[in-house]
Amino acid sequence: INYDPALHPFEVPREYTRALNATKLERVFAKPFLSSLDGHRDGVNCMAKHPKSLSTVLSGACDGEVKIWNLTKRQCVRTIQAHEGFVRGMCARFCGTSFFTVGDDKTVKQWKMESPEYGEEEEPIHTILGKTVYTGIDHHWKEAVFATCGHQVDIWDEQRTSPMCSLTWGFDSISSVKFNPIETYLLGSCASDRNIVLYDMRKSTPLKKVILNMRTNTLCWNPMEAFVFTAANEDYNLYSFDMRFLESPMMVHMDHVSAVLDVDYSPTGKEFVSASFDKSIRIFPVDKGHSREVYHTKRMQHVITVKWTSDNKYILCGSDEMNIRLWKANASEKLGVLAPREKAAMNYNQKLKEKFQYHPKIRRIAQHRHLPKSIFCQIKEQRIMREARRRKELNRRKHSKPGSMPFVSERKKHIVAVVK
């Protein structure tokens, strides 16, 4: 090939056209929905990933049933009636041999991951009877320790029936507790009195508390950045915090139009997925304030739980209407083995899309998403409300003494206080 630029003129317009085509094709091929796993007889309340097997996923429903699914077959391989009432939380042991569930019946149960042998009863390995309802559970990433939350955060040794230590700071029901995957002694919890509390397991002491405007439903630590976690809030937003600087979040992620119920990071730590009460899930880049993708189907109701699989390829979401849905993390990705030429073309297209992403025509196509009417209308409504608030503030500022109404950045607006 002769690379003489005189022989290949108009490189920018040609590449622009290619980028435009690539963008259009991306939208054409964007078919993210893969399958729906149905079998639960009540809303899916929690899910857990298997730490060693990509094809296994666990789910707990509001009727106390736990199901284990095989994703390659898209079948339920095992069903356990684990609790009476809700299965509030579940987590797998780091080695993948067993898993824990907590339910409304004030018990913590440990189950074998493998189905019982022929003739064996389906029963838990251990059952711990507590005094209060546990609302969440998470397992340590490296040791035989797990943490539950309810009225307090309890840290348990697997071998004992009473907690190693209980961490409290104020009295309110704590909705979720999560271990830090990198600095494994760190815990984060969020309570219904609108606060997020961090704990240190080594000293068995809380560290700091940050109070937000509204309640945080759950939080998730970034698996690649030890000090970053994202909180899913009732005020439709998600907040990414650096735990060293809790005074203001690193980023406010806004796009949902109803309370965000769950959040899970991609294993690469570059993106996270959030499930919302507005019947949609959204994918956010960690460094962007707005989502890059929104998934919804006609039948999907309030999404309660969401998980990003550990090979970074799929997303699972469990919703009110008893189904677990399997999505592609990258909507237009071609699954399966790619030929080298195909791969090169894909990379080239990706690069072109990146290069020309700021051009208005391309951006319009790339950003366009069809939304259900309810979400679409709510977005519009909220835009109007936001605009009105902004205008009001502007007017107030205009008619008050200069300096008496300071500008408050969006990031600081939502933080009420940081308690040491």
Q: Which of 243, 254, 281, 315 binds other proteins (CB under 8 A)?
A: 243
C-beta closer to other proteins: residue 99 or 236: 99
Length of the chain (residues): 420
Question: Would you give the end-to-end CA distance of the chain in angstroms?
Answer: 67
The nearest distance, CB 306 to other proteins, in angstroms, is: 17
C-beta closer to other proteins: residue 24 or 52: 52
Does the footprint of other proteins cover residue 78 (CB under 8 A)? Answer: no
Yes or no: say if 137 and 176 are a contact pair by the CB < 8 Å rule.
no
Does the footprint of other proteins cover residue 3 (CB under 8 A)? Answer: yes
- From CA 127, how far away is CA 135, in angstroms rounded? 16
Binding mask 25-54 for other proteins (x = CB under 8 A): --------------------------xx-x
The nearest distance, CB 267 to other proteins, in angstroms, is: 4
Could you say which residues in the range 319-338 bind other proteins, by CB under 8 A? 335
Q: Which of 6, 11, 159, 404 binds other proteins (CB under 8 A)?
A: 11
Does the footprint of other proteins cover residue 359 (CB under 8 A)? Answer: yes
Q: Quick one: which H or E segment has residue 111?
A: strand 107-112
3-class secondary-structure state, position 87: strand
Q: Residue 51 is encoded by which pair of tokens?
A: 């730490």
Total residues at interface with other proteins (CB under 8 A)? 58
The nearest distance, CB 221 to other proteins, in angstroms, is: 8
Does the footprint of other proteins cover residue 171 (CB under 8 A)? Answer: no
Does the footprint of other proteins cover residue 289 (CB under 8 A)? Answer: no
Does the footprint of other proteins cover residue 118 (CB under 8 A)? Answer: yes
- From CA 88, how far away is CA 108, in angstroms rounded? 10
Q: Where are the alpha helices (DSSP H) in 5-145?
A: 11-28
- Which residue is associated with the tokens 């399958």? 35
Yes or no: say if 79 and 87 are a contact pair by the CB < 8 Å rule.
no
How far, in Å, are 150, 198, 238, 367 from residue 232 at the CA level? 18, 15, 5, 23
Window contacting other proteins (CB under 8 A); options: 85-93, 101-109, 277-285, 350-358: 350-358
Q: Residue 227 is encoded by which pair of tokens?
A: 């000090």
C-beta closer to other proteins: residue 92 or 108: 92
C-beta closer to other proteins: residue 355 or 392: 355
Q: Which of 225, 332, 365, 374 binds other proteins (CB under 8 A)?
A: 225
3-class secondary-structure state, position 269: coil
Could you say which residues in the range 121-150 bind other proteins, by CB under 8 A? 141
Closest to 139 (Cα-Cα) out of 265, 49, 260: 49
**DSSP class of 335:** P
Helix axes 11-28, 360-367, angle to 10 degrees: 10
Please report, as ranges, the residues that interact with other proteins according to CB under 8 A. 1, 3, 5, 8, 11-12, 14-16, 18, 51-52, 54, 117-119, 141, 181-183, 186, 198, 200, 203, 205-208, 223-228, 243-244, 267-270, 310-313, 335, 344, 347-348, 350-352, 355-356, 358-361, 420
